Amino acid sequence: MVELADLKTVGQPSWCPGCGNFPIWHALKRAIVQLNLEPHNVVIFSGIGCSSKMPHWINTYGFHGIHGRALPIATGAELANNNLTAIVVGGDGDGYGIGVGHFIHAMRRNLNMTYIVSNNQIYGLTTGQTSPTSDKGFTTKSTPTGVIEVPINPIALAIASGATYISRGFSKEMRQLTKLIVDGLRHKGFALIDVLQPCVTFNRKNTYDWFSERVYKLEETGHDVTDKKAAFLKSLEWNDRIPIGLFYREIKPTYEDELAQIVEMPLVTQRIEDIDIRPLMNEFV
């Protein structure tokens, strides 16, 4: 059985005290333990940002990529060895800014991976600039007179793009967040867990208290997670009331399911000696 001690690393997180990434880190480790996922069969991918240091502090395989490119790197690894559990972590700037194109295409392909986004509505690593999810009118050092753009809505975008497990957690709600990650890892297809993750150093608006006054749990309202229209309407709620929990879930074939080359066995276990190219050579040479 896998235990939390098995996931311990020599280094420890260097996030600011009180950072919302700490609960996400704990929730992810607990999810791996609950599912008894052997560390050598798990790969955590990340891009650039505070949350993207997470692969360094969980004792599994990890790949720390460049800004916005965690999903295509994870795609390559998943297609090479689809027996692995692929987990991608990153922030709102990494995933919904420079990486938003990869985000959309990974969802529409329904790749079998779980994407956990630490959404603090600010660029924390580079000391507090506006991010793609910053509220309109929000003032930062890069927008001293207030943001004029409408923020990205990752839940609505995920629904429209074809993700098959779409959820939102809150760093303060550890039990619910852990369950969302566990269910996302169990789900066969692209699973998004967008996490409201307060940046205690640079975001003085979207704080723990601000969210605590507004969030409510979808599972306590009778929400039908198979109703895409209802999920989309819920995704539009913000400011006064903010839903957290599972918005939408759908079961359908994954990208990997429809690739004949890897249906029977992963590419990494296939031997080139078993491939006979003579018919192809005879046809074209």
The torsion of the CA quartet 221, 206, 113, 42, rounded to 10 degrees, works out to: -110
Q: What is the pLDDT along the chain (285 residues), one digit of tens a residue?
A: 999 999 999 999 999 999 999 999 999 999 999 999 999 999 999 999 999 999 999 999 999 999 999 999 999 999 999 999 999 999 999 999 999 999 999 999 999 999 999 999 999 999 989 999 999 999 998 999 999 999 999 999 999 999 999 999 999 999 999 999 999 999 999 999 999 999 999 999 999 999 999 999 999 999 999 999 999 999 999 999 999 999 999 999 999 999 988 988 898 888 777 778 888 889 988
Please tell me the predicted confidence (pLDDT) of residue 278.
87
Residue pair 13/20 in contact (Cβ under 8 Å)? The answer is no
Residue pair 251/224 in contact (Cβ under 8 Å)? The answer is no
Please tell me the predicted confidence (pLDDT) of residue 226.
98
Residue pair 252/164 in contact (Cβ under 8 Å)? The answer is yes
Q: Domain with 178 in it: what CATH number?
A: 3.40.50.970
Q: Domain containing 75: what range?
A: 16-284
- Establish if 111 belongs to a structural domain: yes
- Establish if 3 belongs to a structural domain: no
- Establish if 113 belongs to a structural domain: yes
* DSSP 8-state secondary structure symbol assigned to residue 94: I
Beta-carbon contacts of 228 under 8 Å, excluding residues fewer than 6 positions away, are: 159, 248, 250
Please tell me the predicted confidence (pLDDT) of residue 263.
87
- Establish if 4 belongs to a structural domain: no
- Establish if 8 belongs to a structural domain: no
- Establish if 261 belongs to a structural domain: yes
- Establish if 219 belongs to a structural domain: yes
- Establish if 238 belongs to a structural domain: yes
Number of domains composing the chain = 1
Round to the nearest angstrom and report the end-to-end CA distance of the chain. Answer: 54
